[in-house]
Chain A
Amino acid sequence: MFGKKRVAIVGAGVTLFRRNLKETGKELSYHAAKMALEQAGMELRDIQSVVMGTAPDAFDGVHMKGEYLADGAGAYHKPYTRVFVGGGTGVFAPLAGWWHVASGQFDTCLVVCEEKMSSCYPHPQYAFTTIFDPVLERPIGMNLIWIFALEMNRYMHKHNIKKEDIALVSVKNKRNALDNPIAQLAANITVEDVLNSEVMAWPVQRLDVSPTSDGAAAAVLVSEDVAKEVTDNPIWIDGVGWCIDSTQWTNRDLYYPDYVEYAARMAYKMAGIKNPPKEIDVAEPYDPFDYKELHHMEGLLLCKKGEAPKLTREGVTQRDGDLPTCPSGGLLGCGNPIAAAGMMKVCEIFWQLRGEAGKRQVPGDLRTGVAQAWGDLMQYGSVIVLRR
């Protein structure tokens, strides 16, 4: 066994994802945490430790965001940690929750992820301009969309991938989101809609990209002893992995996310997974851009390098396919409140494995699921394997 104690998720909650919610970040955190506690059948007094995941301080302009959000996450008078690894935060936060409990230090940990991007006005894109190297990159006028365009272009070039095949991811995820009550951008669109949408920075077009959002998501993590007391249906955290690549993103081969593979291998080793495509029943790869779902499927070893577009075209990744990806609707369909979006994926796998995903439920006997997020300056991978 890895760690001193086995760790289970026993409750989860996700708020609406919207462009501009009336609630403050604290209030969003509260709603998600409360929902997770209610599903677990637990009270705040049962919680021994709290982990908060939230992305750049610059979104809120409150440069001690962990402290700012603490009471909304239920951390009053409790051991509390805020973790932050950029876009990877949403899956990294439950990993941090895992080591709180797996270490034997705590029997319960409430993990809350929050993002309120709308406070940064007129657009949170501005907050992203300061993530780049101040000497080498900022003077050129970098922005986030076009570094992803550079990566997408390299990925397309390496495997000779057509934009039509990448657009299918956006079509699938936005359609899946029609069944998700939290979704911000659920829609029935076509490949042509994506290809005809405004070009932002070639090859990235408007419908290739997830929106900015407000939202929160949370889960209750407990030790095996507590899990047996509170539920007949625990979902186990059987694998955790995380990895950072060169912080000099120019030093990496952009066509393939090595760091996701390393994180996945760490998680699969712990979970005893030898053949990921066979053993994983449902996946939530991180999809802030449509090509990223494909990139991450490959990094997660769910298929060979360059093979993800083919699987998508053949329908394998649809909800009723052999390897459903982003049955939640993903970030493309549900929205992208950074840390909350990653955590939403963990919640979705939890509900899918419990058979509680409603209209989004993937058919069949689901045993194992994986969620993944990606962040910092395109070099951070966080992976979690859940089992029924």
Chain B
Amino acid sequence: MSLEKITNPFDARHWIGHMEAEYRYTLGIAGERFFKEIKENERIMGVKCPKCEVVFVPPRLYCEKCFAKLEEWVDVGKRGEVYTYTIATIDIDGKRLEKPQIYALIKFDGACGGLIHRIGETEKVYIGMKVEAVFKPPSERKASINDIAYFKPAE
């Protein structure tokens, strides 16, 4: 996104021909740093609200409880715990999956929130299971939540 002001009205964006709408989302200010840390450093970061003493994962620009701007970043580690899970047996089109897929909400020690992700390298899962992020090879990373391939058992 350009931050420059347009001074010539003919420079305003226009489009000729068939227009197919798609959506492009920015990661946001906090999101950009979060995904950069995943992509470049294999680190999962949170951000702390000093007033509310809460560490938010994923990190955010502001505290939703007190509206403070958050700047104190902390590494919460690659390991988390399965807070709850589901085993999907059909896909979004209602078709039966060849292999059931485990999805879990993974919480990190001392942090508020967590990450929704796939659980891999196991067919067994339970609430409270310790898991660890498995990152994709550096060349395949795109600053996306899918730069983490999945979480695997860490016990």
Contacts and interface: CB of A to CB of B under 8 A. Distances in A.
A319 B118 CA distance: 42
Contacts of A137: 116, 145
B137 interface: no
Given A136-B116, A250-B114, A251-B56, A151 B84 contact: yes
A142 interface: yes
A310 interface: no
B118 A150 contact: no
A157 B86 CA distance: 12
A289 to B, nearest CB: 13
A150 B58 contact: no
Interface string A117-152: 000000101100100001111011111011001110
Interface residues of A, number: 34
A246 B64 contact: yes
Contact of B103 (A146, A157, A247): A146
B28 A254 contact: no
By DSSP majority rule, is chain A's interface helix, strand, loop, or mixed? mixed
Interface in B1-45: 23, 25, 27-28, 31
Contacts of A202: 86-87, 89
Contacts of B146: 139-140
Interface in A163-217: 198-204
A153 B89 contact: no
A241 B58 CA distance: 30
B23 A149 contact: no
B83 to A, nearest CB: 7
Given A139-B145, A140-B145, A140-B146, A153 B112 contact: no
B127 to A, nearest CB: 5
Given A125-B92, A135-B28, A139-B144, A250 B84 contact: no
A149 B86 contact: yes
A275 interface: no
Contacts of B23: 134
B79 interface: no
Contacts of A200: 88-90
Interface centre among B60, B84, B114 (most CB of A within 10 A): B84
Given A136-B58, A140-B103, A154-B127, A248 B92 contact: no
A129 B112 contact: no
A149 B101 CA distance: 13
B85 A150 contact: yes
A251 B59 CA distance: 11
A150 B90 contact: no
A36 B55 CA distance: 50
Interface in B121-151: 127, 144-146
Contact of A248 (B25, B85, B113): B113
Interface of A: 123, 125-126, 129, 134-137, 139-143, 145-146, 149-151, 153-154, 157, 198-204, 246-248, 250-251, 254
13 contacts: A129-B92, A135-B31, A136-B115, A136-B116, A136-B145, A137-B145, A140-B146, A150-B85, A198-B89, A199-B89, A201-B86, A201-B87, A250-B113
Given A140-B117, A201-B88, A251-B64, 9 more contacts: A125-B92, A136-B31, A136-B58, A137-B116, A140-B116, A141-B92, A150-B85, A201-B90, A250-B105
